Amino acid sequence: MTIDTISKTEARMLGVLLEKAMTTPENYPLSLNTAVNGANQKSNRHPILSLDEDEALEALEGLVDKNLAKRVFPGHSRVEKFAHTAGGRLGLNSASLAILAELMLRGPQTLGELRTRARRMAPLESLEFVEGVLAQLSEARLSMRLPPDPGGRAERYAQLLCPDAHPLDEPSPHSESRRADRDHGGAPADPDMLAALIERVAALERRVLDLEQQLGVAT
């Protein structure tokens, strides 16, 4: 099956649709306003963007044209919302979609980073399990292996739906923070602590979205 590559903005919007479908299913499918907020949020994103509604809508319509998303009107609502169709279109399960979303939202990462950050979206039992998921994505030509960051030892992985979404030769912000820790005599953060923090942030994001829905901000 041949899959067209997508633009940087389409990659961000598809990553948002995938992420929110798994982390905030009660607020999914997404309205345009909610999708914009998800694309521009400052947590779990690299780089930080500032898309407006016109840019976001153009990207969502591009995904619809590529059969990676669809328009829906839940409960016969007049408000148009968007849902991804990537699982069926790409033939991927929830674990693969979680890894792909993480790579589109934050760029190339190591096995450990992917497991820590993507398991807020889907169960990822071990590093070996994540490696198997990435092997399947690579076979489908949706991901590739990269050499370690300068000064690093662990190989990284990148998605190929939008190869230019993140410069592949650019040190990741995660490795920069790790080097800063070492330079200042600090220890790298424990993966379990990072996972707990990520889960806490995701829970707070869900609460904010719930409040926005109640206040009529995200329609």
In this prediction the pTM is 0.80
Dist CA 75 CA 52 (whole Å)? 27
| Band of residue 99 on the pLDDT scale cut at 50, 70, 90 | very high
Secondary structure of residue 1 in the 3-state scheme? coil
Q: 219 falls in which pLDDT band (50, 70, 90)? A: very low
Q: CA-CA distance, 64 to 147, in Å (whole number)?
A: 34
Round the average pLDDT of the chain to a whole number and report it: 86
Say what the pLDDT of residue 177 is.
46
Tell me: pLDDT of 203 over 70. no
Give pLDDT tens digits for 26-60. 999 999 999 999 999 999 999 999 999 999 999 99
Length of the chain: 219
pLDDT at 179: 46
Q: What is the pLDDT of residue 169?
A: 73
Contact 156, 150 (CB under 8 A): no
Specify the pLDDT at position 202: 59
What are the structural domains of the chain? 8-90 (1.10.10.10)
Q: Which two tokens stand for residue 208?
A: 């904010």
Q: Are 84 and 14 in contact (CB under 8 A)?
A: yes
Quick: pLDDT tens for 125-166.
Answer: 999 999 999 999 999 999 999 998 877 889 999 999 999 999
So what's the pLDDT on residue 43? 94
Distance CA 207, CA 205 (A): 5
Least confident segment among 57-61, 68-72, 116-120, 147-151: 147-151
